[in-house]
């Protein structure tokens, strides 16, 4: 019983680790930063509406550059 | 709640469900052809039922007991992780840095794997083949888990769980009917394009809900969602172009990458 529960918990933890971190930990970091900045900009209108999408775009570009295929001389 | 956010919600759930279910169908068809249809279909239906129970078991308590703003921040963060990840893959695939998703290849690999299992069961076609059942169940359950996450997240954040579940169910019916008609021609489905669109929508919803839950006031309220969708389409096109121009990949290398 306890062994089965342990296996289920491990599988559950493994699923969430794969889902949130996986092979792109920078995107998990990006999300944490965006959430933190959103709270810092609480109550604003223009600043929040501009900064949050821009942050997501910058992190997306950085992650894409990190994931690109390296070729000789690159 | 504006019509625009409802439309984007239905489109996002429908499209996300569609691509995940096409992937699941590939595995079910491979299991059916290799191990017998009865066990494969039973495995698929059992997994779909478990996923349906999960939507109700997780979604309803979320809507009833979690404060809406806290729920929107958590949901927005989950959608951001998922959306950015899908969009990143779409950018890498479009720029040639990652091979496109290939259902034909997945089908061939699954059939080859199942062929290495003890063949007696397949030859005698018993009433139930445990390998066929397990492979179909696992395929539908694993692919469906992301659908459950999207349905519960988007549905709970907008208090439209029923509508989100209906959109996913509609996608299930479309894929099942298409599966009956096209059987193994699943590669005809423009999966990479749909995944790009879903990535854009999930990222847009993610940014919107995180901001909304944290207390940022979006100009135009829910009308900001279509604007965010447009913005991330531009970001996707720009990132793809940048990678193509600045870091071109020789054609042979791009083709050789594993999906």
What is residue A57's DSSP assignment? Answer: H
pLDDT of residue B51: 87
To the nearest 5 percent, what fractions of chain A are helix, strand and coil?
75, 0, 25
User: What's the whole-model pTM score?
Assistant: 0.75
* CB proximity list for A71: less than 8 A, separation 6 or greater: B247, B249, B250, B253
How many Å apart are CA B29 and CA B139, to the nearest integer?
11
Q: Looking at chain A, how many residues does it have?
A: 74
Interface of B with A (CB under 8 A): 73, 76-77, 80-82, 84-85, 87-88, 91-92, 95-98, 145, 149, 203, 206-207, 210-211, 213-219, 224, 228, 231-232, 235, 239, 242-243, 247, 249-250, 253-254, 257
pLDDT of residue A72: 58
pLDDT of residue B186: 57
Burial B214-241 (b: 16+ CB within 10 A, else e): bebbbeeebebbbbbbebbeebbeebbe
* CB proximity list for B149: less than 8 A, separation 6 or greater: A19, B78, B82
- Within 10 A of B11 (CB to CB), how many other CB atoms are there? 15
Torsion of CA B139, B143, B148, B149, to 10 degrees: 140
Tokens of A58: 């910058």
Residue of A nearest to B210 (CA): A35
Please judge whether B214 and A39 are an interchain contact, meaning their C-beta atoms are less than 8 angstroms apart.
yes
pLDDT of residue B259: 43
pLDDT of residue A64: 94
Residues in B closer than 8 angstroms to A61, CB to CB, are 235, 239, 242
A7 band by pLDDT with thresholds 50, 70 and 90 = confident
pLDDT of residue B184: 56
Optimal mutation site among A68, A70, A71, A72, interface B, most CBs of chain B within 10 A: A68
> CB–CB of B147/B73 below 8 Å?
no
The number of CA neighbours under 13 Å toward the Cβ of A43 is 1
Query: Pick from B244, B8, B87: which is nearest to A63 by CA?
Result: B87
pLDDT in tens, chain B (259 residues): 566 778 888 888 888 888 888 878 888 887 887 778 888 889 989 998 998 888 888 877 877 787 888 888 988 898 899 899 989 999 999 898 887 766 667 777 777 777 666 654 444 455 667 888 888 898 888 888 888 888 888 888 778 888 888 998 898 888 888 776 765 555 555 777 878 888 898 899 899 999 999 999 999 888 898 899 999 999 999 999 999 998 887 765 544 444 4
Give me the residue spans of the domains in chain B.
3-256
Phi, psi of B180, rounded to the nearest 5 degrees: -65, -35
């Amino acid at each position: 019983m306890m062994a089965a529960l342990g296996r289920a918990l491990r599988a559950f933890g493994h699923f969430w680790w794969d889902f949130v971190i996986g092979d792109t930990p920078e995107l998990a970091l990006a999300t944490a930063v965006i959430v933190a900045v959103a709270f810092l900009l609480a109550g604003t209108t223009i600043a929040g509406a501009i900064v949050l999408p821009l942050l997501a775009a910058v992190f997306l570009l950085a992650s894409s550059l990190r994931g690109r295929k390296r070729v000789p001389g690159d | 709640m504006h019509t625009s956010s409802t439309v984007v919600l239905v489109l996002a759930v429908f499209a996300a469900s569609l691509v995940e279910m096409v992937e699941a169908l590939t595995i079910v068809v491979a299991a059916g052809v290799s191990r017998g249809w009865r066990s494969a279909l039973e495995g698929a239906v059992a997994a779909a039922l478990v996923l349906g129970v999960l939507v109700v078991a997780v979604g309803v308590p979320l809507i009833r007991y979690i404060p809406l703003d806290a729920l929107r921040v958590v949901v927005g963060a989950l959608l951001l992780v998922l959306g950015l990840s899908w969009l990143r893959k779409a950018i890498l695939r479009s720029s040639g840095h990652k091979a496109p998703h290939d259902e034909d290849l997945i089908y061939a690999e699954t059939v080859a794997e199942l062929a290495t299992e003890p063949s007696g069961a397949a030859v005698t076609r018993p009433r139930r083949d445990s390998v066929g059942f397990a492979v179909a169940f696992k395929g539908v359950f694993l692919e469906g888990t992301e659908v459950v996450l999207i349905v519960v997240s988007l549905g709970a954040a907008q208090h439209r769980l029923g509508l989100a579940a209906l959109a996913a169910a509609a996608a299930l019916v479309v894929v099942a009917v298409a599966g009956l008609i096209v059987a193994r021609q699943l590669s005809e489905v423009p999966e990479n394009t749909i995944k790009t669109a879903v990535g854009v929508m999930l990222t847009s919803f993610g940014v919107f809900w995180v901001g909304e839950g944290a207390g940022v006031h979006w100009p135009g309220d829910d009308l900001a969602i279509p604007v965010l969708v447009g913005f991330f389409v531009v970001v996707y096109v720009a990132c793809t172009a940048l990678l193509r121009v600045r870091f071109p990949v020789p054609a042979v290398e791009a083709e050789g990458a594993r999906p």
